[in-house]
Amino acid sequence: MTRDVRTTHGEHLRNPQVAAEYLNLALQEDDSGIVLMALLNIAEAQEEGIEGLVACFPNHNKRIKKYE
């Protein structure tokens, strides 16, 4: 059985520790395009997409409201 690389990649990026390490490696490149691609890949890997990614950070609303 042949596995799709994107599917396998996404399965790994659902793990918060793997996603954090992946993002940290992207941040070390000091290239906004690489960072944005990493964020996109992590978001796409979540079952609920961007909404699923945002749900991982329950305190984000407090920070946003602070600046409104």
Q: Between residues 51 and 63, which one has the greater pLDDT? A: 51
Which pLDDT does position 46 carry in this prediction? 82
- Both tokens of residue 59? 């305190």
Per-domain residue ranges of the chain: 5-67
Give pLDDT tens digits for 23-54: 899 999 989 999 999 988 988 888 787 776 67
Q: CA 35 to CA 37: how far, in whole Å?
A: 5
Q: What angle do CA 11, 43, 14 make, to 5 degrees?
A: 25
Query: What's the pTM?
Result: 0.67
